[in-house]
Amino acid sequence: MVGVNKKKINVGMVGYKFMGKAHSHAYKDVGMFFDTAADVVMKAICGRDENGVKEAADKFGWESYETDWRKMIAREDIDFVDINAPSDAHKEITLAAIAAGKHVFCEKPLALNLADGREMLAAAEKAGVKHAICFNYRFLPAVQLAKQIIDEGRLGEIHHYRATYLQDWLVDPNTPLAWRLKKEVAGSGAHGDINAHSIDLARFLIGEFDRVVGHNRTFVKERPLLTGSAGGLSGGGASTEKGEVTVDDATGFLADFKNGAMGMFVASRFAAGRKNHNTFEIHGSKGTIRWDLEKLNELEVYFREDEPNLAGFRRILATEPSHKYAGNWWPTGHIIGYEHAFVHIVYEFIQHMTTDSPFTPTFLDGVKCQEVLEAVDLSIERGAWVSVDEV
Ligand code: SOE
Q: d(Cα 250, Cα 266) in Å, to the nearest integer?
A: 7
**Ligand 1 atom with the shortest distance to the CA of 137:** 10
Ligand 1 pocket residue status of 249, Cβ below 6 Å: no
Mean pLDDT of 160-170: 97
- Look at residue 21 and tell me if it is in a domain: yes
- Look at residue 1 and tell me if it is in a domain: no
Q: d(Cα 117, Cα 219) in Å, to the nearest integer?
A: 29
**161 in the same domain as 305:** yes
Strand ranges, E, within the chain = 7-14, 38-46, 64-66, 80-83, 103-106, 131-133, 158-166, 209-217, 222-227, 237-244, 250-257, 262-268, 277-284, 287-292, 298-303, 314-317, 386-387
Ligand 1 pocket residue status of 377, Cβ below 6 Å: no
What is the structure's pLDDT at 306? 95
Mean pLDDT of 133-155: 98
CATH number, domain containing residue 82: 3.40.50.720
Q: d(Cα 157, Cα 169) in Å, to the nearest integer?
A: 37
Closest residue by Cα to atom 9, ligand 1, is: 194
Q: What is the pLDDT of residues 222-243, one digit of tens each?
A: 999 988 765 556 667 888 899 9
**342 in the same domain as 275:** yes
**96 in the same domain as 207:** no
Residue 222 three-state SS: strand
Q: d(Cα 11, Cα 104) in Å, to the nearest integer?
A: 10
83, 15 contact by CB (below 8 A):
yes
- Look at residue 387 and tell me if it is in a domain: no
Mean pLDDT of 337-354: 98
CATH number, domain containing residue 294: 3.30.360.10
113 pLDDT higher than 60: yes
**309 in the same domain as 202:** yes
Distance linking the first and last C-alpha atoms of the chain: 45
Q: Please name the amino acid found at residue 172.
A: D
What is the structure's pLDDT at 238? 85
**331 in the same domain as 199:** yes
Give me ligand 1 centre to Cα 193, in Å: 6
Question: Among the three residues 119, 136, 153, which one is the final residue of a domain in this structure?
Answer: 136
What is the structure's pLDDT at 227? 86
**178 in the same domain as 274:** yes
Which residue range forms the structural domain that includes residue 101? 8-136
177 pLDDT higher than 60: yes
Ligand 1 pocket residue status of 233, Cβ below 6 Å: yes
Q: How many domains does the chain have?
A: 2
- Look at residue 388 and tell me if it is in a domain: no
Question: Among the three residues 103, 121, 136, which one is the final residue of a domain in this structure?
Answer: 136
Closest residue by Cα to atom 6, ligand 1, is: 193
**129 in the same domain as 153:** no
- Look at residue 166 and tell me if it is in a domain: yes
Task: Give 249's pLDDT tier (boundaries 50, 70, 90).
Answer: very high
- Look at residue 391 and tell me if it is in a domain: no
What is the structure's pLDDT at 237? 86
**279 in the same domain as 168:** yes
**Strand duo 250-257 + 64-66: pairing:** unpaired
DSSP 358: -
What is the model's pTM?
0.96
**146 in the same domain as 89:** no
**Ligand 1 atom with the shortest distance to the CA of 197:** 8
- Look at residue 307 and tell me if it is in a domain: yes
Q: 330: Cβ–Cβ under 8 A, 6 or more apart, which residues? A: 319, 336
Least confident of 70-84, 175-189, 316-330, 369-383: 175-189
What is the structure's pLDDT at 4? 67
160 pLDDT higher than 70: yes
**87 in the same domain as 189:** no
Give me ligand 1 centre to Cα 180, in Å: 10
Q: What is the pLDDT of residues 261-278, one digit of tens each?
A: 999 999 999 999 999 999
Mean pLDDT of 311-331: 97
**147 in the same domain as 106:** no
